[in-house]
Amino acid sequence: MRGIRGAITVGRNDKEEIWQAAEELVRALVNTNGIAPADIGAAIFSVTEDLTAAFPSTGARRLPGFDLVPLFDARQCAVEDSLPRCIRALLLVNTDRSQTEVRHVYLRDAAHLRPDLEG
- pLDDT tens track for 20-37: 999 999 999 999 999 999
Domains and their CATH numbers in the chain: 2-117 (3.30.1330.40)
pLDDT tens string 40-51: 999 999 999 999
Q: End-to-end CA distance of the chain: give it in Å, rounded.
A: 26
Does the pLDDT of residue 100 top 70, yes or no? yes
* Size of the chain, expressed as the number of residues it contains: 119
* CA–CA separation, 9 and 110 (whole Å): 6
Instruction: Quote the pTM value.
Output: 0.96
Does the pLDDT of residue 62 top 60, yes or no? yes
* CA–CA separation, 36 and 56 (whole Å): 19
* CA–CA separation, 77 and 93 (whole Å): 24
Name, in order, each residue with C-beta under 8 angstroms of 31's C-beta and a sequence gap of 6 or more: none
Please spell the DSSP secondary structure of 8-73, one letter per residue: EE-SSS-HHHHHHHHHHHHHHHHHHHT--GGGEEEEEEEE-TT--S--HHHHHHTSTTTTSS-EEE
* CA–CA separation, 21 and 73 (whole Å): 14
